[in-house]
Amino acid sequence: MKIVVTVMLKDGVLDPQGRAIGHALGNLGFAGLNEVRAGKVIELDLAETDPARARQFGEDMARKLLANTVIESFRVDLPTP
């Protein structure tokens, strides 16, 4: 089954990439942007078919490799097909 791990910088951590995207959008004429934050999304297709175990597996992978939990937070989603 598919799981989606989304990794974002924690609130309060400076996000230069998001800032740069916000500036670039402003220069292109997009107004009314309060805040822009950038992150990563990792879609994993697992052999595991049990949703609870797949979620646990995703959290383990995020903690061990996908996210730097000092400055990043992560979320594991199980998209409905």
Binding site for a second copy (CB under 8 A): 6, 8, 18, 21, 24-25, 28, 30-48, 57, 60-61, 64-66
Which lies closer to a second copy via its Cβ, residue 29 or residue 70?
29
The contacts of residue 11 (CB under 8 Å, 6+ apart) are: none
Tell me the two tokens of residue 42: 């990792």
Q: How far is the CB of 68 from a second copy (least distance, A)?
A: 14
Which lies closer to a second copy via its Cβ, residue 70 or residue 74?
74
Rounded Cα distance between 42 and 59, Å, is 12
DSSP structural state of residue 75: E
Tell me the two tokens of residue 19: 């800032």
Q: CA dihedral in degrees (49, 51, 56, 59; nearest 10)? A: 100
Q: How far is the CB of 70 from a second copy (least distance, A)?
A: 19
Which lies closer to a second copy via its Cβ, residue 65 or residue 70?
65
Q: How far is the CB of 38 from a second copy (least distance, A)?
A: 5
